[in-house]
Amino acid sequence: MAISAETIPRFTASDALEAASARYGLSGSAAPLPSERDQNFLIADPNRGKFVLKIANRGDSAELLDFQHEGMRRVAGCGIPVPRILRSLVGADVETLTSRAGTEHRLRVLTWIEGRVLAEQTPRGDALLESIGASMAQVDLALAEFTHPAMYRVLQWDLRHAGVARDHAALLPATWRERVQTAFVQWQELDWTSLRAGVIHGDANDHNVLAEPQRMTGLLDFGDMVHSAIVCDLAIALAYALLGERDPLAAAGAVIRGYHRCNPLTVPEQLALDALVRVRLAVSLCYAAHNRIRAPDDPYQVVSEAGVRALFERLDGYPRGAAEETIRAACR
pLDDT tens by residue, 259-283: 999 999 999 999 999 999 999 999 9
Say what the pLDDT of residue 101 is.
Answer: 84
Average pLDDT over residues 306-326: 95
In which band, very low, low, confident or very high, does the pLDDT at 36 lie, cut at 50, 70 and 90? confident
In which band, very low, low, confident or very high, does the pLDDT at 5 lie, cut at 50, 70 and 90? low
Is the separation of the CB atoms in 65 and 94 below 8 Å? Answer: yes
Which CATH fold topology does 11-111 show? Phosphorylase Kinase; domain 1 (3.30.200)
Spell out the domain ranges in the chain. Answer: 11-111, 118-330
Q: In whole numbers, what is the pLDDT of the chain averaged over residues?
A: 93
Nearest-angstrom CA–CA distance, 177 and 169? 6
Say what the pLDDT of residue 3 is.
Answer: 59
- pLDDT, tens digit (0-9, with 9 covering 90-100), for 177-194: 999 999 999 999 999 999
Which CATH fold topology does 118-330 show? Aminoglycoside 3'-phosphotransferase; Chain: A, domain 2 (3.90.1200)
| pTM (predicted TM-score) | 0.93
Say what the pLDDT of residue 100 is.
Answer: 86
Average pLDDT over residues 6-23: 93
Q: What are the C-alpha distances in Å from 243 to residues 57, 119, 131, 264?
A: 29, 8, 16, 24
In which band, very low, low, confident or very high, does the pLDDT at 122 lie, cut at 50, 70 and 90? confident
Average pLDDT over residues 219-224: 96
Average pLDDT over residues 72-78: 95
Average pLDDT over residues 67-94: 96
Checking if the pLDDT of 296 tops 60, the result is no
Lowest mean pLDDT: which of 153-162, 226-235, 301-310? Answer: 301-310
Q: Do 11-111 and 118-330 share a fold?
A: no
- pLDDT, tens digit (0-9, with 9 covering 90-100), for 206-221: 999 999 999 999 999 9
